[in-house]
Chains A and B, each alone.
Chain A
Amino acid sequence: AQSVTQLDSQVPVFEEAPVELRCNYSSSVSVYLFWYVQYPNQGLQLLLKYLSGSTLVKGINGFEAEFNKSQTSFHLRKPSVHISDTAEYFCAVRGDGGYNKLIFGAGTRLAVHP
């Protein structure tokens, strides 16, 4: 069965510092991986996705993630964060069964401080 573990529930960081949000997955089917962001009082929106091809995936707002099959990881990174990046970030993996179901992690709250 598929599962996602987000290793940090909260990550505090200062503005303009780099950040990495960690995600590990398990999957018995072809691996499709996603990062979503949720700003306060809003729905989730897609940051980036890995379906196949290059293991380094670039997304919106300067974020990128690297798919590492041997370590079953899909960590999200940004070289320099802004106050506006304060949000909750969810990692997700495709579910099995051939349907468009996603399995979400518990989320990581990124707090960017001035």
Chain B
Amino acid sequence: DAGVIQSPRHEVTEMGQEVTLRCKPISGHDYLFWYRQTMMRGLELLIYFNNNVPIDDSGMPEDRFSAKMPNASFSTLKIQPSEPRDSAVYFCASSFAQRGGHEQFFGPGTRLTVL
């Protein structure tokens, strides 16, 4: 398996622009998580899905952030409009609910820079 795939790996954009981050989870996994990592705040859980349904979006910082999972093999995290304080590394992770599960497999991340 190729693991969790994220694109793009790096994104540089200007304040006010729309940014879309993409994630392909591991085939067969039924959970998908979006995290944000910064030096100041560490690793933050933004939102997670189970069977394509959002379960908890309490970590989404504000209405400028939205996430979708239209099918089991694809998810997007969108920021509109983007601001410099959104600069961070965004990780996607997936897992499979089974007895003894809960292990999350992380993608390589997208490094976002908002100028």
Please give the residue numbers on chain A whose beta carbons come within 8 Å of chain B beta carbons, in ascending order.
32, 34, 36, 42-46, 49, 51, 90, 94, 99-102, 104, 106-107
A-B contact count (CB 8 A): 54
A107 engages B103 (CB within 8 Å): no
Q: 18 A-B residue contacts at CB 8 Å?
A: A36-B106, A43-B4, A43-B91, A44-B43, A44-B106, A45-B106, A46-B104, A49-B102, A51-B100, A99-B56, A100-B31, A100-B48, A100-B102, A101-B56, A104-B42, A104-B43, A106-B42, A107-B43
Closest approach, in angstroms, between the C-beta of B49 and any C-beta of chain A? 10
What residues of A have a CB within 8 angstroms of the CB of B55 in the complex? 99
Q: Give the total of B residues in contact with A, Cβ under 8 Å.
A: 24
Closest chain A residue, CB of each to CB of B99: A51
What residues of B have a CB within 8 angstroms of the CB of A102 in the complex? 102, 104
Once the chains are docked, how many angstroms separate the CA of A90 from the CA of B103? 13
Q: A99-B55, A100-B31, A100-B97 are contacts. A94–B109 as well, Cβ < 8 Å?
A: no
What residues of A have a CB within 8 angstroms of the CB of B104 in the complex? 44, 46, 100, 102
Give the residue of A32, A42, A90, A94 whose beta carbon is less than 8 angstroms from that of B108. A42
B19 at the interface (CB under 8 A from A): no
B45 at the interface (CB under 8 A from A): yes
Please give the residue numbers on chain B whose beta carbons come within 8 Å of chain A beta carbons, in ascending order.
4, 31, 33, 42-43, 45, 48, 50, 55-56, 91, 93, 95, 97, 100-109
Closest approach, in angstroms, between the C-beta of A21 and any C-beta of chain B? 16
A99 engages B31 (CB within 8 Å): yes
What residues of A have a CB within 8 angstroms of the CB of B4 in the complex? 43
Give the residue of A34, A94, A99, A107 whose beta carbon is less than 8 angstroms from that of B42. A107
Closest approach, in angstroms, between the C-beta of B95 and any C-beta of chain A? 5
